[in-house]
Structures are given as C-alpha cells and as structure tokens.
Chain A
C-alpha cells in the first residue's frame, strides 16, 4: 500500500482553464488527476446537445484534456477520474479511445465507464410507482412540470468508481457522480477503507470539497490578502496528499503561483455550505465542524480530525426542466446625473412594455456601478461618472420576450441623454432551463461499470 496518495484537481467546472490538467500532470508527482465538469445545470445543457446531435452530450473538452496528459497516463501510471460523460458515456469513452489510437496509444488506455445515474428514461415508471420526486425546496411533486423535464440524474457516490479502479481502469468516466466522490474514491481504493469507515470516508469527502473547485482553494477568488497572492497567471491547482489514516495535506506543485494557506482553504470550505454538521453525500455524512486545519509549511495545509456518520437511504436527483424564456439588455448612462438618467430610462421602458401589452412573470432593473449587487447597502451613489442600466424580463411567452429585446436600442435616440454602450446589438432570448432538486430511494438506482480498452 502507498503511504501517501496524491490526488490533483485539474478542472473545477466545465469551462475551467484548459491547460490546468497538463500543468498538474507535468508539474510534479501525482497519482490521480481529478476533473470535475459538472455544475447543477450542466447535465441539461449536455442533454440539449445530444438532442441536436446523438454523438454529443458529454464534455468535449475532456478529450483534449486526456490528450494533453496522455503520456502521464500511459508512461507514468497517472489515473484520471472525471464526471465528463454527461448523458452520453459511450460516445465519450469512444472519443477518448479514438484519440488515443490516433496518438499511437491504442491498447494503452483502459476506460472505466460508470452508468446508472440517468433516470430520464425511467421518470414515468418512477412516478407511477409512487416516487413523487418532490422539489426539495418547494415540496411540489414533479408531475407539475413533467412535460418540461429534459434531464434527470441521480448523484451517485464512490462505489462504482472504486470498482472501476479495482478492475484496472486508467481513465474513469462517470455521469452525474458527486464532485466529492471523484476524490474520495481513489483514496478508498488505495487504502482499502471499508464502506462503513465513516471518519475516513468523511475525510475523503472533505478533501474532495476542498479541491473540487480547482484553484478556488489555492489563491483564486480569495479575499484574504488578495493583493499579495503571487503569480495568479500561473496559479497552481490544488493537490490532496492523503494518508491511510484519513489525514491529508492540501498543497500545489513547486514553482507555481497562488497560495495554499489556512485562510485560502477555509474560504473554500465555507463555499456553497449548508448545515456544516451534515454535509450529506451518498457514501457518508461529513461533519465540517470537526475539521482541523494547520499550516504545515509553505503552501501546505494539514487537515485532520474529521468525523463522519452513516448516510441516508436517499440519493439526491438533479432534474432539469424548461421554465420559460428570459432576456437581459444593457445601456450605459454617463455623467452628469447618470443615475437619474438611467432611472428615467427604466421608467420609460417599463411604460412602453406596458403599453405594448407585454406581460412577464418578472421584470428586474439594476444599476451596475451603483447598486446591482449590494442593493440598498451601497448607499447614495453621488454623481458617478457612469452607470449601466441592466434590464431583464422573464416569462413563459417567447414572443413577448423577443419583442422586449427590440425596445432597448430605440432608447438611445428617443430616451434620456448621454447614453452609449449598445454596440453589442439586441439582447439574446434565452430559454430557461431550471433546476429541480429531488430525492429518490437508493434502492431505485443501480450503477454499472464497464471497462473498455
């Protein structure tokens, strides 16, 4: 058994720094490269892509990421774990293997494919069997929006990833696995942690939470002493160096920018946190109030003391449904009296929409540069040099939202003066794909692991 297992994070979301995986693989010693591609609504975007083209539906960037670390996998034995498969895991695996073949590495990759998270084909069956899939926030049953559902995926845990690793996969691809399982699974695999070794599993989850957002724990988006965090242009992505006893150290490769310190790690720990005593995952419930951090050298934070307890008998399900349309338009009003001009333009626009008989579920006008993010807390603006009027509407009627998008530009000539910043053209109408979180009995979800070479 290895004394220390190094799990390096190479992507914090779909759209993160494309070069980060390569830097993690080449910058020093690592055992696993963990790539997190999924945010709450990513699966629905992938589902839409698959509807347009049956060969799509996974994170295409992932194939490039694997290509950029191919020699690390085939020559140094680095193994990759990623929730990049989206709603089309076979296509994702095939694309990876095809790329490897083209690069002369045919037969050198073993791709482990974890399926079973996709509940979309089973929704009606589940509902008629009495599984309401009620919205966790509102309590409404899914039947209310059933016709608009476009994706439904259970968040799955570490079990099938551990199995894929045990069966020799060098690249493990999942659909909607939890972000944290991608880090915990290799530790469980390497150290042979039992499925009821709650404290160690919880430690693996905490390690996963710290590194799952990439550089956000190693100096990125860090408020503490931000001016003095060095070389963010070359920011080092995080690495969890874990031991069999469930303790670990967060660090980054030598010679990289950014910073790993108690404050940078603490900021990431509280990110998107709910009740800290109950961080619920499919494998374990981790208690974040037990985490102990200490600086253990430059850019090294030691993490220990973590307690866990048994999980619930449910899995969370991420459901995406079509929920109408929206559009947001902007104009910039300039000194003198920029705020008053922008407010006047807002009033005129509201009145025109009203006269046109356009009805929306919601209209929101913000003044960027004045109060768009801090609201009334921002206080009086004074006579600011410029302010951006940001005007948005949403509603069920696409035509009404489209009509709205034609009402912005005319204001430049027929509204209040000293206005600019409309060169981008008409605002785009966007279909809203909303998120419906629900729970399902664990017994209803069966995962499968397939190894493809």
Chain B
C-alpha cells in the first residue's frame, strides 16, 4: 500500500549556515524500523531534487525513534544572505513529510499503519 510519510512521522527542521536539518520522528515507536529502512539518504536527496544544491547526510537516533537529515545547499546561502521565504529552513520538515512510501500490505497490516483495513 502507499502512504504519506506525514501519516507515520512528525518532524522539525532548522538551519546551520546554508544547510537545513530535518529531524523525522516515528509517530509510533514500532514504525521506526520502517522509516530507517525506507528513508535512505539517496531517497531523500531524490525527493529534494531541484531544491538543494549539495548532498544529503543521514544520521540515526534509534533512542528517539528519529532520523536526522542534513540537506546541504538548501538555503540560498543561508541566514541573512538568503532571499528565500524559508531562509532558515523552518518548514523543510513538512516538505519531507510529503514523501510517499510504498509498504507491502502484509507489513502495513502487522504494523497497523494508518489507513489499513483490518
């Protein structure tokens, strides 16, 4: 089944210079392994194609059921230089949550993902 990342995670983003960070947190601790498997750095880089000029780095925080992504070259120079509305990367979080995941039906059922019919 297909589902939006928004339905299984919440997120917050911020900035460091020209880099935006997005921390993605599983809404249910049981869903963290799914996120860790699906949200590869490559996948996230592909998602943000055309919006960032640099690479994507990924870090795992299993203790917080969270992944942290650094999106380099995301902020038109960053901070005070940037001409962007979102010069500090505050809402890259929600942009990532637009991602659509394709999860095998059986797994979706086991994990009780939102939208699964019992």
Contacts and interface: CB of A to CB of B under 8 A. Distances in A.
Interface string A414-434: 000000000000000000111
Nearest to A374: B95
Nearest to A224: B10
Interface in A364-378: 364, 366, 368, 372-377
Nearest to B6: A223
Contacts of B85: 366, 368, 372-373, 390
Given A137-B18, A274-B21, A434-B80, A267 B12 contact: yes
A433 B80 contact: yes
B50 A362 contact: no
B47 interface: yes
A266 interface: yes
A217 to B, nearest CB: 10
B80 A270 contact: no
Given A223-B11, A224-B10, A433-B80, A377 B47 contact: yes
Interface stretch (B33-41, B59-67, B104-112): B59-67
B91 A270 contact: no
A378 B10 CA distance: 18
A252 B77 CA distance: 37
Contacts, number: 127
Given A41-B80, A323-B81, A289 B93 contact: no
Contact of B84 (A267, A272, A364): A364
A375 B84 CA distance: 11
A276 B68 contact: yes
Given A276-B59, A289-B62, A374-B95, A432 B81 contact: yes
B86 interface: yes
A73 interface: no
A392 B61 CA distance: 38
A293 B78 CA distance: 32
Contacts of A434: 77, 79-81
B12 A221 contact: yes
What is the interface residue range for chain A against chain B? 35 or more
Contact of B23 (A270, A277, A368): A270
Contacts of B13: 271
B10 A377 contact: no
Interface residues of B, number: 43
Contact of B98 (A221, A263, A277, A377): A377
Contacts of B17: 137, 435, 437
A270 B48 CA distance: 20
B30 interface: no
B16 interface: yes
Contacts of A272: 14-16, 21
A326 B18 CA distance: 17
B25 A270 contact: yes
B93 A223 contact: yes
Nearest to B93: A223
B8 to A, nearest CB: 12
Contact of B78 (A263, A305, A326, A435): A435
B14 A373 contact: no
A221 B88 CA distance: 14
Contacts of B80: 41, 323, 432-435
Nearest to A262: B64
A386 to B, nearest CB: 16
A381 B76 CA distance: 24
B53 interface: no
11 contacts: A270-B21, A273-B68, A274-B68, A289-B61, A289-B63, A362-B77, A373-B85, A373-B94, A375-B51, A394-B83, A435-B17
Interface of A: 40-41, 137, 221, 223-224, 263, 266-277, 288-293, 305, 323, 326, 328, 362, 364, 366, 368, 372-377, 390, 392-394, 432-435, 437
Interface of B: 10-18, 21, 23, 25, 27, 47-51, 59-66, 68, 70, 76-81, 83-86, 91, 93-95, 98
Given A223-B93, A266-B64, 9 more contacts: A223-B12, A267-B10, A272-B16, A274-B68, A323-B80, A366-B85, A376-B50, A432-B81, A434-B79
Name the 10 nearest CB pairs between A and B, nearest first: A270-B23, A392-B83, A272-B14, A364-B83, A267-B12, A375-B51, A372-B85, A224-B10, A223-B10, A374-B95
